[in-house]
Amino acid sequence: MKIDRRSFILALAASFAVGPVRASREQLYVSSCTDASGASSLAVFSPEGGLLFRTSLPDRGHDIATSPVGGDIAVFARRPGDWTAIISRRTREVRTLIRSPEGRHFYGHGLYSADGRLLYATENHLEQGVGVLGVYDATDGYRRIGEQPTHGVGPHDVAYLPDGKTLLVANGGVRTDPSSGREILNRASMEPSLVVFDAATGSLRHKIEFGPGMRGLSLRHLAVAPDGEAVFACQFEGPADEMPPLVGVLGVDGRTRMLDIPDEHLSLLDNYTGAVALDRSGRLIAATSPRGNRAAFWDRLTGRYLGLSSLPDVCGIAAAPLDGTFVVSSGNAGVRIARAETHDLARVSGSDLDLFMWDNHIRQL
Amino acid sequence: MRVLLSLLFLCIGLHGASAQDASPAAGKAQVQRIAQDFVGPRYERLHSTMQAQADAWRRFCGAPSQPGVDTLDTAFRDAVLAWSSVNLVRYGPVSEDFRYERIDYWPERRNEVARGLATLLAVQEPVRADGMKARSVAAQGLPVLERLLHEEGAREQLVTGESSGRRCEIGQAVSDNLATIASEIRDGWSALVAQLGTADEAALRQAATRMATDLLTVYQVVGDQKLDGPLGGSAEEARPKAAQYWRSGLSGPSIAASLGAAAELESLVLGPDNEAVRSARDAAEAAAALSGPVMDLVTTNEGGRELLRLRNAVRLARDQASLAVPPALGVSVGFNSLDGD
């Protein structure tokens, strides 16, 4: 998706009201959103106080990474995007717009290194049809300084394991090309995998492939627990009358286990999850299905399934400040707080949050 | 396309209300009209046909006969068509307690309906309507009744077969339970209509969003699952048994009823002379005029082309509805659900 730099600058000039400065203890969240006029922006908000500020984006953003040291927020374009916007928390403006190099495009996810020096972004190597992790130097104007293989096709989400040195990437296995939009070019030969590799050297530590029995299952999103287990959430591209489990856990021993869910609940997820998160304690799992209009919850330690919440077009999800609770967002029903055990949804006080179409991912700021 | 969409959004944003965009008050009135005038009567009819079907089973089981099976079949057809004319609604009481899935579990996964029916045939204890809720959703809806009436040898089994008594018991329990579910939905909908009368703007917007989403979903389900599913890539790759209600031959009539309901809903929102409404009616009429059962049409080139024309009509109706209906209700839909990431 190409953007027109001139229209972006015009759009920047046309926005935005800036909210009041908030108490520093309030937990803030960040997500991309679209307003009623169709304009895309990055929004910073709190469930208690509503919108803090918005910054104009060139187009729909997808996931967000926040620098652990500086005040930078990186917003990755929705795939197959050609930009990543770096927004300064201090000025609330886009300070750098990274463009994908020739022959690459962004997949919508990425993260900062633990020291904040580097920004990694999942990218498509168009010629070879394989995934790479682009490496950008945050201390040098986000210059692209290299890339590492993701050891698979169609990388999507990427996360650090708790050692802060090893990366986990979900290779969706789906090959696409911007010239044909988001069409899946290899439906018959998808090879999804989870790959653990060294962030500094790119060397492969471990690759978990999902055999032919799981063909059609595309790994997309990740959430890593403090104890080193990682939750992964999938989409199924096969026939609608097949219904594989969609959410699993990668144990510290490198083995995967899919989480149980009753068939009638699984069928409501419509073979699709859009995001996954762990609560503040790291124990409870939530995965959202915007197609099924449901969020599903599990206890990671016991594997117990906890139930479903209903919210239309729900997708964004992140740990809320209390254990067992999540902030969830929707493309058409605003923002809510979900409790995993009771799976009820509470409205948030910032009703101005209802005015926006919230994009797929929320992150804590 | 992207530019066009951006322009469209921009126009909506800058000019607020074009001729069809809803003010909050108009949107509220629209939602209440849909709830009262469109959905309400359909749920009444769903309940009355489900109750008539339960009564028919009770009478049949008093004195099983071949003509009696025909009566059951007519009652089943009425129930399926009443359901099909309101199955686009997924919002409200039908979405609670798995009522939608308990009425109509489809597409059938892992042969669950067959397994559910086999379990009911095999259990020692009597099969009763009040025990249905605890059973698999696949074992308690219209698909079970369809198998009881239309599986190979089913008629003989029902009237004179060894398992005739047990099959009658299952038919009565399932049809009674369906009537109960239909009454719960009807009552729940009346309560929801009352709530909408005093709802705040956010709740009304959510209701309108759900209605618009449900409308677009029915086109997606009919096009992608009910037509593309059995069609496959070619006559050789066709999957006739992927058609819903293939056993009873109600695939086409059910699709026609769903599309007819979609056209009527759009007509309420957009007015009868709207282009999107005409496309919706065209699709419904094409479904009603199919020259044979879907499961037969998919296996010939000519029949396949007929279904492809219907599918294209459904797509056109969906595309036009997706542009016209959400702004007319003052909402936007499908931001993440159509996203694919």
ipTM over 0.95: no
Contacts of A264 in chain B (CB under 8 A): 98, 101, 136-137
* A48 contact B CB<8A: no
Q: pLDDT at position A239, please?
A: 78
CATH number at residue A61: 2.130.10.10
Name the percent of chain B in helix, strand, coil, to the closest 5: 75, 0, 25
Is B340 inside a domain boundary? Answer: no
Q: pLDDT at position A149, please?
A: 94
A134-175 confidence digits (pLDDT tens): 999 999 999 999 999 999 999 999 999 999 999 999 998 877
Contacts of A312 in chain B (CB under 8 A): 206, 209-210, 213
Contacts of B224 in chain A (CB under 8 A): 240
Is B136 inside a domain boundary? Answer: yes
Q: What are the angstrom distances between the C-alpha of A28 and each of A89, A168, A192, A352?
A: 12, 26, 34, 15
Collapsed DSSP state (helix, strand, coil) of residue A205: strand
Segment A100-107 mean pLDDT: 94
* Residue indicated by tokens 């926006």: A356
Residue A329: phi, psi to the nearest 5? -130, 160
Q: A42: domain range?
A: 5-15+27-364
Is B175 inside a domain boundary? Answer: yes
Q: Tell me the pLDDT band of A18, cut-offs 50, 70 and 90.
A: very low
Look at residues B245, B243, B248 and name the one whose alpha carbon lies nearest to residue B232.
B243
Mutate to test the interface with A, among B140, B336, B338 (most CBs of A within 10 A): B336
Q: Residue A319: enclosing H or E segment and its boundaries?
A: strand A314-319
In one-letter notation, the amino acid at residue B304 is G
Of A105-114, A193-202, B101-110, the range with the lowest mean pLDDT is B101-110
| Number of compact structural domains in chain A | 1
pLDDT-flagged residues of chain B (< 50): 1-20
Q: pLDDT at position B310, please?
A: 97
Instruction: Give A183's DSSP letter.
Output: -
Is A20 inside a domain boundary? Answer: no
A298-313 confidence digits (pLDDT tens): 999 999 999 999 988 9
Q: Tell me the pLDDT band of A176, cut-offs 50, 70 and 90.
A: confident
CATH number at residue B282: 1.20.1420.20
Contacts of A357 in chain B (CB under 8 A): 332, 335
Is A151 inside a domain boundary? Answer: yes
Is B13 inside a domain boundary? Answer: yes
Q: pLDDT at position B230, please?
A: 95
Comparing A178 with A327, the larger pLDDT belongs to A327
Q: Let me know: does A192 contact A172? Beta carbons within 8 Å.
A: yes
Q: Across the interface, do B341 and A79 touch by the CB < 8 Å criterion?
A: yes
Q: Across the interface, do B341 and A34 touch by the CB < 8 Å criterion?
A: no
User: How far apart, in whole angstroms, are the C-alpha atoms of residue B29 and residue B11?
Assistant: 24
Q: pLDDT at position A350, please?
A: 62
Is A21 inside a domain boundary? Answer: no
Is A140 inside a domain boundary? Answer: yes
User: Global pTM?
Assistant: 0.81
Number of Cβ pairs < 8 A linking chain A and chain B:
108
Q: pLDDT at position B24, please?
A: 62
Contacts of A35 in chain B (CB under 8 A): 13
Of B136, B202, B225, the CB nearest to A354: B202
Q: B161: domain range?
A: 2-333
Is B110 inside a domain boundary? Answer: yes
Is A342 inside a domain boundary? Answer: yes
Q: Across the interface, do B339 and A243 touch by the CB < 8 Å criterion?
A: no
Segment A80-106 mean pLDDT: 94
Chain A nearest CA to B189, separation (Å): 18
Q: pLDDT at position A184, please?
A: 73
Is A153 inside a domain boundary? Answer: yes
Is A350 inside a domain boundary? Answer: yes
Segment A275-279 mean pLDDT: 98
Q: pLDDT at position B14, please?
A: 31
Beta bridge pairs of residue A134:
A121, A147
User: How far apart, in whole angstroms, are the C-alpha atoms of residue B40 and residue A284?
Assistant: 40
* Residue indicated by tokens 């239909």: B182
Share above pLDDT 70 across residues of chain A, in percent, rounded to a whole number: 91
Q: In angstroms, how far apart are the furthest CA atoms of chain B? A: 72
Q: Across the interface, do B336 and A182 touch by the CB < 8 Å criterion?
A: no
| Number of compact structural domains in chain B | 1
User: How far apart, in whole angstroms, are the C-alpha atoms of residue A295 and residue A328?
Assistant: 9
Is B338 inside a domain boundary? Answer: no
A292-350 confidence digits (pLDDT tens): 999 999 999 999 999 999 988 999 999 999 999 999 999 988 899 999 999 999 988 76
* Residue indicated by tokens 């010629």: A127
The pLDDT mean for chain A works out to: 89
* A82 contact B CB<8A: no
Q: Across the interface, do B339 and A78 touch by the CB < 8 Å criterion?
A: yes
* Residue indicated by tokens 């917007």: B205
Nearest Cα residue in chain B from A290? B337
Chain B nearest CA to A242, separation (Å): 6
Q: pLDDT at position B337, please?
A: 79
- Locate the DSSP E strands across chain B: none
Q: pLDDT at position A10, please?
A: 39
